[in-house]
A and B are shown apart, each in its own frame.
Chain A
Amino acid sequence: MGVQRNDWSLQRKGQIDQDRHAERVRDAIRQNLGSIVSNESIILADGQKRVKVPIRSLDEYKFRFDHRKRKHVAQGDGKTSVGDVVGHEPQPSQGAGRGRRAGDQPGVDYFEADVELDEIARLVFEDLHLPNLQEKAKREVPSRATRFTEIRRTGIMSNLDKRRSLVENIRRQARETGRAHLGPFRPEDLRYRTWEEQQSYESNAVVIAMMDVSGSMGEFKKYVARSFYFWMVRFLRTRYDNVEIVFISHHTEAREVTEEQFFTQGESGGTVVSSAYRLALDVIASRFPPRDWNVYPFHFSDGDNYYSDNDEAVRLADELASTCNLFGYGEIGDEEGPGYRRQSGALLSIFSDRLRNTERFAGVRIDDRADVYPALKHFFRKRGEEIG
């Protein structure tokens, strides 16, 4: 019997197992990146640092009762009677832009985990690489750093390295007299520091985000494009000091818009893809010369281009591919499946057949939200000239 008070400061068991749990969450996220990447709570997180993501396979499974089919007992406030409703079962909601119908089985198999967005980003980017990255003409940054990097026997007095000079003197005395001590200085004892000017260079990247906003681009298609750009911009920001984004939306005409307009504006009308490519090339030529910039034009469309525009589109796409690091084209199918799409008019197959510069072109088809992650991986896979 008695009271003790011990030093527990080294006790870390809970912390260690908490880390083990975090590791499990990470593994689970890695396995579920496909569905997490296009998850609304992330794409629409709007600057939140932590997000809830649905993760399979992290629950602790037991033989347990189905609580929905069971009778329970609880306590009231003293005034309850038979027939009172004490609560509502949360109904599976059908959120905007939601992929599958809520009734579909997989939706139930989720465990929500609270995760740092950066953590997810790190995992998403693990497999991504910068395609065709080139050392661009160095643009000097305004700040120029001076660092002393070397020691020499000659130099100016103000840069004398006293400590090393003393050491040299003692070493010389030791050599000459057999005893290590400080004696009179001679010029050969003296050591000077020298400096180097370091110029650091920014590597810059610009994303030309192009999107078809013609009448046929519905909510789902815009959402897919949005998820894609969300991750792409984030990814490029981890690799470049400075990432600029230019938003171009087009139907039969193209124009540069703000980010907000880009993702929200609904338009209508037909599709002339070449208008967007032409504008992109103009923007690149006037503001982001490929000599100085790594340029990543990406274009999302449903591929229903006017037939008469296809030749021009192919020609300009080729030009984009040869002036930029990578030209990406994503063709977004209909959520309900490839159904009625006119195969003949589909740009993706035309590009695949007719583009000459295929090395710097990446085309991918997205029919489902789960395709976004594979698309990212496809665009940013390891390629020939890739560095880092």
Chain B
Amino acid sequence: MDREVAELERAIERIWEVGRAFGLDPFPTNFEIVPSTVMYEIGSYALPGRYSHWTFGKAYHRMKTMYDFGLSRIYEVVINANPSYGFLLETNSPLQNRLVIAHVMGHVDFFKHNAWFAATNRRMVDDAATHARRIAEYEFQHGRKVVERFLDAVLSIEEHVDPDTFLKRPANGPQAVRAPVPGRYDDLFDPCELPPPPAAAARIDGPELPEKDLLGFLAAHSPVLEPWQRDVVAMIREEMLYFVPQMRTKTINEGWASFWHSRIMRELDLSDDEHLEFAELHAGVVSPHTGQLNPYFVGYRILEDIERRYGRDRLFEVREVESDVSLLRNYLTEDLCEELDLFVYELVDDEAWTITDKRWERVRDQLVANMSNFGFPYIEVADGDHRGNRELFLKHRYEGSELDLRYARKTLENCQTLWGRPVWLETVVDGVPRTLHYDGSDHSES
């Protein structure tokens, strides 16, 4: 075992050397060899040591079953942190490990340099563990079922945060500044610096509306949440803000990592057998999935195309500034569309999924549209005092795709749980505006 570890350490050193020579500049990275159970645990929780919830257990069970049946396999999990973490499956062959390490290097370089990641919490692993402890404590205080049901409601809207806080106008207008009175207790905490308690905030239709940050809004303004519940909402929101950059850069991030693992592996001294194994693995990772879209493959091909057309320097620029949406908008060309055989398809007559467009601009625009807001409907708080009755009015910013109404109603019930008063959702159904309403016991529509 020690020999294996020593060998891996040498491989990491070599790979880092090669990567650095190419211009990659990752965070320091700790690798850990783990058994499959742990690998699938980290894979299904997306972070090690995260809080408990049955949805993770469900994902874990599914992944582990797929693995046990030999249907899928995770070779690696990488965590965005400084230092970063790379987890290697203990059954990986030496060559698989080298490929995985090179792939991880690409990801970690991307985490460090891509602009969308600039604001991510690089100590999220520690914070997630703290969150887990706090939630466990709440389970102890309030009962496991109570916390679980509350988490059910929060997780149901967890994607509705606003990751682009830096684009925000200053939330609060001019504020009266209390003239500081010098005194002997200046070193003590001044309770007047506390914001007024949320329940006391009279009207919530100020300049901050509309507000995309639904979780933040609920945590701050819900009339019914108890302190521990606000804390849970805030923790889930913080974790979601950490994950959003990864959701926004799936294609480019995987493309980048795949691009570099292939370039680095070519520089290593591989035997003929290893070359063959590598070629097979690489082809498996970046293979086209007919009838679907493999982000590894699409990202990889676009990046290769950029390098071919503009040179490697441009590639590093792309890794710094683009997300999936901008990468596709800026760099998906007619030739690539044709080469990848991309098409737009939709359901015709409620029966047959049919290819309806192959014009490359349409394909590109549809792809971009589907990736907007990382694939989720754009919902914002329009009013927290609707009808002057403290009712919550949500608006779906309709951009051509309609909501799954059954899901919307169920999710609205969860919003009602969190807001404690009647909730509304304005959307578009069959091209006509429609407003869903849930008052805590009945649904209605208008």
Chain A interface (Cβ within 8 Å of chain B)? Answer: 1-6, 8, 11, 13-24, 59-89, 91, 108-109
Contact = CB atoms under 8 A, between A and B. Distances in A.
A278 to B, nearest CB: 54
Contacts of B353: 85-89
A4 B157 contact: no
Contacts of A6: 32, 34
Given A1-B12, A70-B346, A61 B355 contact: no
B20 to A, nearest CB: 12
Given A18-B61, A62-B407, A88 B157 contact: no
B333 to A, nearest CB: 15
B34 to A, nearest CB: 6
A190 to B, nearest CB: 58
Contact of A61 (B12, B379, B407): B407
B37 A11 contact: yes
Given A16-B52, A63-B376, A88-B351, 12 more contacts: A3-B9, A5-B33, A13-B41, A16-B57, A62-B411, A63-B379, A65-B403, A65-B404, A66-B405, A80-B355, A89-B352, A108-B406
Contacts, number: 216
Nearest to A113: B58
Query: Counting chain B CB atoms within 10 Å of each CB, which of A11, A71, A76, A82 scores highest?
Result: A71
Contact of B29 (A1, A8, A73): A1
A64 B407 contact: yes
Contacts of A84: 354-355
- Give the interface size bracket for B toward A: 35 or more
Contact of A71 (B160, B298, B356): B356
Contacts of B28: 1
B92 interface: no
A8 B35 contact: yes
Interface of B: 1, 5, 8-9, 12, 16, 28-35, 37-38, 40-41, 44-45, 49, 52-58, 60-61, 64, 83, 90, 148, 155-157, 159-160, 288-294, 297-298, 340-347, 350-358, 363, 366-367, 370, 376-377, 379, 396, 401-408, 410-411, 414
Given A14-B56, A18-B57, A74-B342, A8 B34 contact: yes
Given A4-B32, A80-B343, A64 B377 contact: yes
B52 A72 contact: no
Given A8-B34, A81-B358, A19 B352 contact: no
B29 A68 contact: no
Contacts of A4: 30-33
A152 B403 CA distance: 81
B44 A87 contact: no
B155 A60 contact: yes
B124 to A, nearest CB: 17
Nearest to B350: A89
A86 B355 contact: yes
Nearest to B9: A3
B53 A20 contact: yes
Contacts of A13: 41, 45, 49, 52
A86 B354 contact: yes
The 4 closest A-B pairs by CB, nearest first: A17-B57, A61-B410, A14-B41, A21-B57
